[in-house]
Structure 1
Amino acid sequence: MKAKDVMTANVVSVSPDHSVRHAARIMLDHRISGLPVVGDDGRLVGIVSEGDFLRRSELGAPAFPPGEARDYVKGHSWKVADLMTSDVVMADEETPIERIVVLMQEHGIKRIPVMRGQRLVGVVSRADLLRVIVAAKFHDDTAAGDDAIRRSILTRLQKDAGVKGDALTLTVSDGLAHFSGTVSSQSERDAVRVVAEGVRGVKGVFDHLYLAHP
């Protein structure tokens, strides 16, 4: 799945020459937390988000000492151009959503503009990613039968969750998975349960595990 498959295409934007108050009103009216800023030539020049408003003078922004002139400008200017973040993290419409997620995590951002060449064609936000999760279908090619379920759980523990399971014992009877033995952490214990619960045919998971270092 790519950015173009999940993005919001009908993007609300503002001009760098719009007022800060106008941008805030648009965000409130559309119930969004950020806006692309697009110049007269149609090119993306920045992003203005809720975080940019936090040091506004209207909110009681402090007096800034010498050397923090930029902060003063962001706190007092009436123009979006002075408030926005101009160093924008962008993605092409063909960018896989896995890469979108990585970019959001690396840069601590909530939305990524999607470009087609120099033109803004959409925005992928965290809300768009939540819609992907809600719409996702459960896919599991595990064969029927207790033996197949057991093999699938053990394989996924190591391959997907990074749990070697050398000190684990797993028995599956009539779809009921029983774990015994030792795990090294509570996280591994939780991973064992989550992996087993995600395998088709598992009717219940019983944890008889011990922590090696409680």
Structure 2
Amino acid sequence: MRARDLMTTNLVTIPPTTPLSVVASTLAERGFSGVPVVDAEGRLLGIVTEGDLIRRLAAVEDKRSWLREFFAPAGRQAADYARSHGRTAQDAMTTALVTAEEDTPVERIAKAMEDRGIRRVPVVRDGKLVGIVSRADLIRALMAPAETLAADAPDERIRREVLKAMREQPWVDAYFIFPDVQDGVVLFHGYCRNEDVKRALRVLAEGIPGVKDVKVMVEKAPLPVVMP
């Protein structure tokens, strides 16, 4: 199995001049743990992750000794300063990235994630970002038969199109809903109490070519615990 069989291609990217306040809002509102930074031609420049933003906040409380600062290379001091005081994505982004090509075996990607402690590996073609393989993608590969994961497999094609259609609807983001496809039947799992949303999910899936049936199997979300 190759990166092309698992990678997510419907990506949210940002330009390098994006204010970090916008990046933080994007991560929080969309539930992302990182967002790729690309130039006008689509070339991958780096990734801004939750860790990058948290390190920026932690830098305020970093009480380094004057001796350690004295012996640190000036270049590293300057880089640390830019990352902790900059205001745009290009200032805070991680640039030392592990990347893959579309034909990279998923086993190699999994090893890179394990060795480097990272959550995602960008997939590039001639330096341009074409997809991302995340840990969730690898876990899905372990749970599903290989023949259903090929990028051109009918069920996988339907699942990707359903996901794409869901991302285009703002009302979906308010709920924890996940689609699966088995033999052309779309199954929605997750939590949702709203009957209108359930009906809209059915209509959305029925509009995807190749869908034979739709089953909305969501459950009522547990009520939040009110602390005294």
Q: Supply the distance in 1 between the matched residues of 2:132 and 2:45 (Cα, whole angstroms).
A: 14
- Does the CA contact (< 8 Å) of 1:55 and 1:61 recur in 2? no
The one-letter amino acid of 1:15's match is: P
Pair 1:90-2:89 in alignment: no
Equivalent position of 2:141 in the other structure:
132
How far 1:112 sits from its partner (Å)? 0.4
The one-letter amino acid of 2:123's match is: V
For residue 8 of structure 1, give the secondary structure of its aligned residue in structure 2. Answer: coil
Equivalent position of 1:53 in the other structure:
53
For residue 54 of structure 1, give the secondary structure of its aligned residue in structure 2. Answer: helix
Tell me which stretches of 4 or more aligned residues in structure 1 moved more than 6 Å.
Answer: none
Across the two proteins, how many residue pairs are aligned to each other? 137
Equivalent position of 1:100 in the other structure:
109
- Which has the higher Rg, Structure 1 or Structure 2? 1
Pair 1:120-2:133 in alignment: no
How far 1:58 sits from its partner (Å)? 8.1
For residue 56 of structure 1, give the secondary structure of its aligned residue in structure 2. Answer: helix
Pair 1:19-2:19 in alignment: yes
For residue 37 of structure 1, give the secondary structure of its aligned residue in structure 2. Answer: strand
5+ residue gaps in structure 2? Answer: 147-228
How far 1:14 sits from its partner (Å)? 1.0
How far 1:76 sits from its partner (Å)? 1.8
Write 1 or 2 for the structure with the bigger share of strand.
1
Percent identity among equivalent residues?
A: 42
Equivalent position of 2:120 in the other structure:
111
Q: Supply the distance in 2 between the matched residues of 1:63 and 1:78 (Cα, whole angstroms).
A: 22
Q: Any residues of structure 2 matched to 1:1-214 within 5 Å, and which? A: 1-57=1-57, 60-62=60-62, 66=69, 67=72, 68-136=77-145
How far 1:124 sits from its partner (Å)? 0.3
Change (3 A) 1:136 1:117: same
- Does the CA contact (< 8 Å) of 1:61 and 1:75 recur in 2? no
5+ residue gaps in structure 1? Answer: 138-214
Q: Supply the distance in 2 between the matched residues of 1:119 and 1:57 (Cα, whole angstroms).
A: 31
For residue 46 of structure 1, give the secondary structure of its aligned residue in structure 2. Answer: strand
How far 1:117 sits from its partner (Å)? 2.2
- Does the CA contact (< 8 Å) of 2:59 and 2:84 recur in 1? no
The TM-score, its normalising length taken from structure 2, stands at 0.55
Q: Supply the distance in 2 between the matched residues of 1:21 and 1:61 (Cα, whole angstroms).
A: 20
